[in-house]
Amino acid sequence: MAIHIDPDRVWQHLMRLSEFRDASSPGWTRRAFTPEYQAARQWLKDLMTSAGLEVTWDPGANLVGSHTGSVPTRFVVGSHSDTVIGAGRFDGMLGVIAAIECAHVLHENGWPFRHGLHVYDFLAEEPSPYGVSTVGSRAVSGHLPPNLLSLRNSRGETLAEGIRGAGGDPAVLSKPLLAGDDIAAYLELHIEQGPSLESHKLPLGIVTGIVGIRRYRVMIEGSPGHAGTTPMGARHDALVAASTIVTQVHQWAAKQVGNIAATVGQIEIQPNALNVIPGTSTLGIEVRALDADHLDRFTSFLGDIVSSLKTHHDYETSIFETTRENPALMDTAIRRTMGEVFRHQGWEHIELPSWAGHDAVQMTHVSSRCGMIFVPSRGGLSHCPEEWTEPRDVALGAQALLQSILRLDRDIN
């Protein structure tokens, strides 16, 4: 049976969803926990209902539309409908609308669901006013401990109160809302938010994984002194030392083979005065890679260059790791199946990593069977009003999601 998504309906729903926005902010802004966000989710709830789904709010205030199957395990398919300030119309929304469309056409065609199909609009994927992101998918994976639930927004309300206000039940979030045994596969369609697909002139990407991130704060202590009277040979300039780290980090990452990016994005010097030799410098350094070993190699490289400033040049140095997020790998069997499905349909594609975070990261903590599909972002732009994906790519992405579900429904036990 050949089942097709309706390209016009998908596009119209996407554009309609983007109209729920904060008119006082630039672009298509719909921050989580706002009235426009709640209104959008009520509209999505009705859309899910008319797609034949049974709709509930789970304890994490995720909007969930469900279709039962004949076996106990289900496909979890979704993304998010909240945005950053000054957002576009595709990031997250595409994955939610496409998932609802898949459910809709399967329902219309009387598809005999073997696995259940549960469509998720995850609560607050973007950084929320409470300082935490991927709130709803964290609730699903059991990664919302009390110290996060008690974080407060600028009005002094806790995240727990925010979740309750959005329709959830924070009292039961100490345990994961889903177990690995509940899930046949987690699938998410998303825009790439980068330039790879466009530069390859390809309409589809299969995500290999979402890169891990480590962040460091490095402090270097030299000696401040008079910028005129201190002889050049007698200086102990903390900014000159820091500049060697900036250069070496860049050069090291640039010559690596594989997916890695390292950036010194912050620098502070003291006393930061035109006529004083810098006495201390503090650097903020970030590295992202798909391969945990690669991240380890960077960590030891950074440790080496920082300690050589101490041993060879007599600076006082310290290094703190401030963030450690492991890479989230997509399932190789699902990637292979998607590749076969796409080839069979004649859809050109590549495999590529995701350099940005997604709800899929949290879902890998629940189930190893996760897969993501990317469609191109014009100019690689995202998180801005110029964010754009061509209607034909939107349609192909939704159809690719549908074909993947159909094939996996047959293949997975």
Using CB under 5 A, list all residues that contact Zn ion: 91-92
Asked if residues 81 and 64 have their Cβ atoms less than 8 Å apart, the reply is no
373/395 Cα distance (integer angstroms):
13
Closest to Zn ion by CB, 93 or 338: 93
Closest to Zn ion by CB, 242 or 360: 360
In the bound complex, what is the minimum distance in angstroms from residue 130's beta carbon to Zn ion?
Answer: 18
Asked if residues 322 and 313 have their Cβ atoms less than 8 Å apart, the reply is no
**Pairing of the two strands 74-80 and 183-191:** parallel
The neighbouring-strand residues paired with 307 are none
In the bound complex, what is the minimum distance in angstroms from residue 360's beta carbon to Zn ion?
Answer: 10
Strands of 338-382 (E only): list them: 349-354, 370-375
Q: Which single residue is written with the structure tokens 């598809």?
A: 111
Whether the ω angle into residue 7 lies within 30 degrees of 0, i.e. cis, is no
In the bound complex, what is the minimum distance in angstroms from residue 131's beta carbon to Zn ion?
Answer: 18
In the bound complex, what is the minimum distance in angstroms from residue 94's beta carbon to Zn ion?
Answer: 9
Minimal CB distance to Zn ion: which residue? 92
- Residue 303's H or E segment, with its range, is helix 292-313
Closest to Zn ion by CB, 92 or 167: 92
- Residue 43's H or E segment, with its range, is helix 35-50
In the bound complex, what is the minimum distance in angstroms from residue 138's beta carbon to Zn ion?
Answer: 15
Closest to Zn ion by CB, 91 or 121: 91
Closest to Zn ion by CB, 116 or 194: 194
For the chain, what's the residue count? 413
210/97 Cα distance (integer angstroms):
22
Alpha helices in 109-259 (DSSP H): 135-141, 146-149, 159-165, 196-200, 238-254
Closest to Zn ion by CB, 78 or 92: 92
In the bound complex, what is the minimum distance in angstroms from residue 80's beta carbon to Zn ion?
Answer: 6
In the bound complex, what is the minimum distance in angstroms from residue 197's beta carbon to Zn ion?
Answer: 16
51/334 Cα distance (integer angstroms):
26
Closest to Zn ion by CB, 80 or 349: 80
